[in-house]
Structure 1
Amino acid sequence: MGACRFVLGVGVGGKYPLTATMMRENERDEAVRAPTTTQEPPLLPPASKGPNPSIEVAKGFFWQTPGSMLPYVVALLLLLIGGKDNYGAEHMAATSFDFRLLLGLGAVPTLIVMLLTYYSSESHEYVSARTADKRGPLRVVRDHPELLGRLTGCGLSWFLYDFVCYGSSVNKVVIVNAVFGESESLYDNCWHDIVLMCTGIPGVVLAIFALYYWSGRTLQAYGFLLQTATCVALAAAVLAKASSGLKFGLFCALEFSLAFGPNVSTYTLPTEIFPTAVRSTCFGVCAGLGKVGALIGSASFEVIMDVVGLDGVYLICAGVSVLGMLVTLLFVPTAKRLASEELASVVAGSVPILRAGDGSNRRDQLLDGSA
């Protein structure tokens, strides 16, 4: 199982940043090629007055939540076919078969993605950027220290978000058992998890809708603020020994807040603030820092709960969320700052910075990421 998780981490860990980067660049390529009634194509950085390009990236991310629910749905179907009894040798044999079948079925979407990726091609924006600058991504970051601040903002905020997200899930069983009652039935555990995951879908949808009006930076800051409020409310409910129904409702609100804001913005922000030549690499570093936060949160929260109690755990989550909001505001650049820096053209090296009023070669500069 450890080997399987390692291979999964390498595959998904690489595909996660690459998918977002490819969607961003392909969307920009299509926008540049689209016919326009103006003499010059519209600019497409995050600071532009048109629709936020990260919306298409966020729409792709939406399917992560239904995809996470699918194994539980398939498990429910297998349990309905094989029987829901939770004892006896026949149940153990059927459960063993169902587990292996469910694990093996995970290869089906993997093979589909592998084939689709094989027949895909690099975006014009990426090809042009790599042609203009042969330096490796890490050398580009070294030569442009301002990118380190952006890496800090995205990576550290992702670390803090996953610390709260994965750490708080350790206590999910306590809340669920208080509402539904303790159960060792696999069938009950599956549909309990599906109910909780469903609360995250409206959060992702709302985050995508918010990107029509907010930048990824604003979405992330407000998302951390909402997480803080729900964690404080949960801590108060636990401390006051509120009813199980109220605590479950607040936990669903926490799941909603975790699906909103940083859940989406940590996926879209690296595609906004990093230039083409280093985008996927910096995205991968940020995603890796997020997994470190998830590891620390998952490993430490049960110990923390033994020391400070469940209410103390949620207060710690609230404090970490406040820290995440501060990191976002301090290190993640605003859309206005991104537009003024025109950093992508600087990283391209051989491509001159696009000056105001200079539209003679704007279409070519858009393709190589210099605008």
Structure 2
Amino acid sequence: VTYFMALIILSIAGSTHYDLQMRTMLALGAVPPALVLPSALLSLSAKAKTGSSMASVFSFGDLTAAFSDSTHSSALFGTSACWLLFDIYVYGVSIYTPEIMDALFGSSETLAQDYWQNVMSTAVTVPAALLNVYLVYSVKPRDLQTYGFAVAAVSFAAMGVCWNLFSDNKVFLFCAFLLLKFATMFAVPATTFLLPNTIFHKNIRSSCNGVSAASGKVGAFIGTFGFPYLFDAFGMAGVFFSCAVIAGLGLFITRTNIPEGKLEQQPTAQPRADDSSDDTPYKTTRDTDKLLA
């Protein structure tokens, strides 16, 4: 959508007043948040009314117990490390896409050419997202994440081989890169969000999800600033092979550290009379049990 809007604005304004075009894009970017802001404020108001009751359920002792308990700490390491590894390669590839396009086709003569190349490389991620929505309720999250990392690892390795063997066939490499973009957005973008919310007890679920998400931001930082050094040291093929190793490591951690189902036992520092949650497994109105069946 962003690139299509940029193409429309570019076609209207032409190759002048790029500063005005940029400000227009920034202004249009504020429209979607403005549309959802009223409903977000209403949701916060509703949550504020129940905040006192929720405060009595949560205790930092629960989170401390989760870190000290080997089962929960292993699962938390798994969700955090997988999110970190995923963001390393997905942000690295996303940020480095212009350099990959330049390596394939040379520097674009116009902004419109840049936009169209990015439209094509981004559009293939939409089918991946739709496939994730379809699979998330029919495949266990742990298995789905395993498949996602496996597909990404194979795709990166294949891209590294193709980059050297078919360096003169730019069209073939571009098609291979489109498949790679699809692979990077298959399964793992959904499961990294889903797993922390399905395997941990509700008293620590949001905190564990926050720790995992924060690890992902560290991975995004590493991918964004580390890829140029990888490229300088090993070339573009070396970058792809490195990403294959990262995805393979994510697959390994998924199988060894993330449990197959919910952690039924609540990690509690000490019993609390006001905790009405007991050891009830995680349930939501979207019937999360179906995700783990």
Aligned residue number for residue 13 of structure 2: 82
Distance 2:28 2:240 in 1: 36
Given that 1:141 and 1:148 are in contact with CA atoms closer than 8 Å, whether structure 2 keeps it comes out as: no
Q: How does 1:1-371 map to 2 (within 5 A)?
A: 70-83=1-14, 85=15, 91=16, 94-120=17-43, 121-122=46-47, 130=54, 133-136=57-60, 139-144=61-66, 145=69, 146-242=71-167, 243-335=169-261, 338=262, 341-343=263-265, 349=272, 350-351=275-276, 352-353=278-279
1:323 is displaced (CA, Å) by 0.4
Distance 1:178 1:293 in 2: 25
Given that 1:141 and 1:147 are in contact with CA atoms closer than 8 Å, whether structure 2 keeps it comes out as: no
- Give per-residue Cα distances to partners, 1:58-114, cap 9 Å, x unaligned: xxxxxxxxxxxx22222111111111x3xxxxx1xx210111121122222222232
Shifted more, 198-207 versus 142-151: the winner is: 142-151
Distance 1:113 1:258 in 2: 29
1:154 is displaced (CA, Å) by 1.0
- Give per-residue Cα distances to partners, 1:21-62, cap 9 Å, x unaligned: xxxxxxxxxxxxxxxxxxxxxxxxxxxxxxxxxxxxxxxxxx
> What is the TM-score when the length of structure 2 is the normalising length?
0.84
- The letter of the residue matching 1:79 is L
Distance 1:330 1:128 in 2: 38
1:134 is displaced (CA, Å) by 4.2
**CA 1:71 to 1:291, structure 2 compared with 1: closer, same or farther past 3 Å?**
same
Distance 1:274 1:316 in 2: 31
- Give per-residue Cα distances to partners, 1:249-279, cap 9 Å, x unaligned: 1111110011102111112212212222222
Distance 1:308 1:178 in 2: 15
Distance 1:222 1:128 in 2: 42
- Give per-residue Cα distances to partners, 1:108-148, cap 9 Å, x unaligned: 22222322111123399x86982652414xx3221232432
1:149 is displaced (CA, Å) by 2.1
Distance 2:252 2:145 in 1: 10
Given that 1:235 and 1:315 are in contact with CA atoms closer than 8 Å, whether structure 2 keeps it comes out as: yes
1:346 is displaced (CA, Å) by 6.4
**CA 1:163 to 1:366, structure 2 compared with 1: closer, same or farther past 3 Å?**
closer
For structure 2, the residue ranges without an aligned partner over 5 or more in a row are none
- Percent sequence identity is 28
- The letter of the residue matching 1:195 is M
Kindly tell me the number of residue pairs found equivalent between the two proteins.
Answer: 277
**CA 1:299 to 1:353, structure 2 compared with 1: closer, same or farther past 3 Å?**
closer
Distance 1:284 1:123 in 2: 20
Distance 1:134 1:231 in 2: 42
1:179 is displaced (CA, Å) by 4.7
Partner SS, residue 193 of structure 1: helix
Distance 1:279 1:113 in 2: 25
- Give per-residue Cα distances to partners, 1:266-313, cap 9 Å, x unaligned: 122122122222222222221111111111111111111111111111
Distance 2:95 2:194 in 1: 27
1:181 is displaced (CA, Å) by 4.3
1:216 is displaced (CA, Å) by 1.1
Given that 2:62 and 2:268 are in contact with CA atoms closer than 8 Å, whether structure 1 keeps it comes out as: no
